[in-house]
Amino acid sequence: MNPLEPGETLDHYRIEATVARSGMSVLYRATDLANGKQVAVKVPHTEMEADPVLFERFKREEEIGQLLDHPGIVKTYNDEERSRVYMVIEWVDGRLLRTILNQERKLPIERAVRITLAICEALDVMHKHGIVHRDLKPENVMVDDEDRIKLIDFGIAMKEDARRLTYVNMTAALGTPDYIAPEQVKGGRGDQRSDIYALGIMLYEMLTGRVPFVEPNPLAAMNERLLHDPTPPRQLNPEIAPELEEILFRALEREPRHRYATAGEMAWELEHQEQVGVEDRGIRPVGRGARRVAVNKRVVLYAGLALLPVLLFGLMLLLARR
């Protein structure tokens, strides 16, 4: 089926403009002729409709958007018969957090914490409904002029009681390399603590202007978080308080059981930083001895990278058989 053009109608939605295209769908800005409101209309490609796995993923995204009712979570609508498969989504004004970071690189500490608290609130609602986003990143957070946020794109979100889907590629199965948690790198489904890890990386990026693990390729970035702790953020931005750095370390623990159990716990500590105890983590400044340790760790990294393709191939075979 040919793409829709501005001025065409789809049932009672008039297409105004093409907003984005992906490998699975096209997103349009449209006007609901029934009430004059702006909406977003996501139309899947024909081949997606024919693929049961991709189609179930599309329908799951729609279902999750209907289930959650919170100002920080984008809504989807399904209140009428439709002539073909498509999704109607709340139109969101604002800018992607990624756009803001590209323009400003890092944010003032107060603003970064404020945005993170808003994301924590939305995540807490999601998690209490048994839903894990699994692809939390700046590209999936809209921010308006008053720093109110909206979580978007639930394409690989998971309901805890849903069966596991077989995904067509590793990125779709795992999320985005810079933001996925170590357990997802290992092939785990992830749970709400995986979202907290991703949020920790986003806060780290907002405060320092870079993600914690900067490597030349996605496989190296994923493997790095299995072996190493992130560079202490205060080395990159000395204005970060020790208590805020501690919150970041707790969100970015490699083992899920050591992270915050809920987004609400993380939010409480962000709001009460003066009550956060700072642990002695034995982190040394970068120097000659630290460089020797770094060299040894890099040997381990390269050994891990040599094994990683084998592990990923095995994981793909396992996913394909489920």
Helices (H) and strands (E) in the chain, counts: 12, 11
Question: Residue 223: its pLDDT value, please?
Answer: 80
Q: Which residues contact 153 (CB under 8 A, 6 or more apart)?
A: 61, 135, 139, 140
Q: Catalytic residues, which ones?
A: 135
Question: Residue 49: its pLDDT value, please?
Answer: 74
Question: Residue 174: its pLDDT value, please?
Answer: 52
Regarding whether 162 and 215 lie in a shared domain, the answer is yes
Q: How far is CA 193 from CA 51, 120, 143, 236, in A?
A: 31, 12, 23, 25
Backbone CA torsion sign across 259, 265, 271, 275: negative
Regarding whether 63 and 128 lie in a shared domain, the answer is no
Question: Residue 255: its pLDDT value, please?
Answer: 93
Residue 92: half-sphere exposure toward Cβ, Cα within 13 Å = 24
Asked whether 28 and 4 are in contact (CB, 8 A), the reply is yes
Question: Residue 169: its pLDDT value, please?
Answer: 39
Q: What angle do CA 250, 253, 255 make, to 5 degrees?
A: 135
Question: Residue 192: its pLDDT value, please?
Answer: 94
Question: Residue 62: its pLDDT value, please?
Answer: 87
Question: Residue 263: its pLDDT value, please?
Answer: 97
Question: Residue 314: its pLDDT value, please?
Answer: 54
Per DSSP, helices labelled H in the chain are 46-50, 52-67, 97-104, 109-128, 170-174, 182-185, 192-208, 218-227, 233-236, 242-251, 263-271, 288-321
Q: Rounded distance, CA 229 to CA 60, Å?
A: 35
Blockwise average pLDDT, block size 10, the chain, 322 residues:
88 94 88 95 84 81 88 88 90 94 96 98 95 93 96 83 44 67 86 96 97 83 84 96 97 95 97 92 48 42 50 51 47
Last residue of a domain, one of 47, 68, 90: 90
Structurally, the chain folds into a number of domains equal to 2
Domain, as residue range, for 35: 9-90
Regarding whether 61 and 105 lie in a shared domain, the answer is no
Question: Residue 300: its pLDDT value, please?
Answer: 46
Q: Rounded distance, CA 77 to CA 269, Å?
A: 35
Q: Which domain CATH number covers 317?
A: 1.10.510.10
Question: Residue 291: its pLDDT value, please?
Answer: 34
